[in-house]
Amino acid sequence: MTKQKLVAGDAKSGVDTSVVVENGLFTAEVKKPPVVPVGYATVSKKKLLQNLEINGGTRVNAWVESMRASSPTSNRISNQDQTTWMDRHRSALQVFDEITDASNGKQIVMFLDYDGTLSPIVDDPDRAFMSDAMRATVRKLARRFPTAIVSGRCRDKVYKFVKLAELYYAGSHGMDIRGPIKHKKSPPSVLCQPASEYLPMIDEVYGLLMEKTKSTAGAKVENNKFCLSVHFRCVDETKWSELAGQVRSVLKNYPKLRFTQGRKVLEIRPAIKWDKGKALEFLLESLGYANCTDVFPIYIGDDRTDEDAFKVLRETGQGFGILVSKDPRDTNASYSLQEPSEVMVFLQRLVEWKERALIDYEREILKKQKVWKDQNYNGNCLFWNGFQPSS
């Protein structure tokens, strides 16, 4: 078993719910980069997440092509390309021990995207349910590590999917962050909503897009409160340009909005400097890990928007990102997992590793104090000082 130094205060819960948020917390500064993870990606900047602005531009065809290219069914990947990519972004399951070794002595903080990471990608975004097994795994995970869900979805909607009050939630691509619910009757503590002033505009554009796109079969516009999603998944690929043109015709009148292309989806959001990477930084600060060298964030996601968070981890040298993808993609993530089922196995192993470490730690402490532990028939713990009871 891998030896590790435990982080103080993590033995019981790992989650600090006594968060105090101040305005000054928005500017993260991490001074000492920790260990650079093995398998770190070297990605040319121009190939990184591209913000495909269309306001005043004519890039509709460009992002439609980009969307096709990112569609797994459209990819033409040679075995050699696949092998080369896997060499650079090894499976997080295969290098699990390396990952836990790299976190030695640091507080792991978990960040999880939802769609395509905890739940399968489905045609109807309203039916992207996570399995009970995945929910149970995330619940166990949150008992051991501070855990946040970071999604492009409306925060309330993603909460209805996940149904775990003990987590942090960052909805609308991180523009709507709240902490865990301590008591059932108490309202959730809203930590950050940097785009509040855009709410009327988002609602207005939502109405216009609903009207404009209703002639395109399969098009779906989703209101995610601080941002919008136009889903292409159920639209015939020959109609993608048509739908893109409809979106553009609405967006050209809203220069304060920008949009990015994801997996068969267009994400429309306020043109502010806030993304999943900023949300990650904000949450780390909110948890008390600003300027902290003994924190080890792990971010798992499958979407282009998750690259903002991967990039933060790469640039700060903190923790690492794991891209969920079966196919090679330019990414700032260090490792890969193929699909949500592998994500669940990785999370389960992480929980088991931590629990074993806690048991080892407890044994070590008890040994030092010359106190032995046994259990009585009720399962309650009894302690004897100075001698070891017979079993």
- C-alpha span between 276 and 274 (Å, rounded): 7
Is 303 or 308 the residue whose CB approaches Mg ion more closely?
303
Encoded tokens for 255: 């220069």
- Contact between 302 and Mg ion (CB under 5 A)? yes
Give the interface segment with Mg ion, choosing from 28-36, 184-192, 269-277, 302-310 (CB under 5 A): 302-310
CB of 148 to Mg ion, least distance (A): 14
Is 113 a known active-site residue? Answer: yes
- Contact between 171 and Mg ion (CB under 5 A)? no
Q: Which of 116, 194, 270, 328 binds Mg ion (CB under 5 A)?
A: 116
- C-alpha span between 152 and 176 (Å, rounded): 10
- Contact between 222 and Mg ion (CB under 5 A)? no
- How many chain residues touch Mg ion (CB under 5 A)? 5
CB of 151 to Mg ion, least distance (A): 7
- C-alpha span between 167 and 147 (Å, rounded): 6
Q: Which of 113, 222, 275, 281 binds Mg ion (CB under 5 A)?
A: 113
**Strand 295-301 vs strand 168-171: parallel, antiparallel, or unpaired?**
unpaired
Contact status, residue 224 vs residue 257, Cβ threshold 8 Å: no
- Contact between 262 and Mg ion (CB under 5 A)? no
CB count, 10 Å around CB of 356? 13
- C-alpha span between 203 and 225 (Å, rounded): 8
- Contact between 115 and Mg ion (CB under 5 A)? yes
Q: Of 113, 303, 306, 308, which is the active-site residue?
A: 113
- Contact between 303 and Mg ion (CB under 5 A)? yes
Give the interface segment with Mg ion, choosing from 84-92, 106-114, 237-245, 269-277 (CB under 5 A): 106-114
Encoded tokens for 130: 């996570």
CB of 218 to Mg ion, least distance (A): 20
CB of 302 to Mg ion, least distance (A): 4
Give the interface segment with Mg ion, choosing from 169-177, 297-305, 338-346, 379-387 (CB under 5 A): 297-305
- Contact between 275 and Mg ion (CB under 5 A)? no
Burial environment of residue 88 by CB neighbours within 10 A (0 to 12, 13 to 18, 19 or more): middle
Encoded tokens for 72: 């797994």
- Distances in Å between the Cα of 301 and the Cα atoms of 29, 87, 240, 377 are 23, 19, 25, 45
Burial environment of residue 113 by CB neighbours within 10 A (0 to 12, 13 to 18, 19 or more): buried
CB of 61 to Mg ion, least distance (A): 25
**317: phi > 0 → left, psi -120 to 50 → alpha, else beta; which?**
left
State which of positions 10-39 bind Mg ion (CB under 5 A).
Answer: none
Q: Which residues are catalytic?
A: 113
For binding to Mg ion (CB under 5 A), which residues are involved?
A: 113, 115-116, 302-303
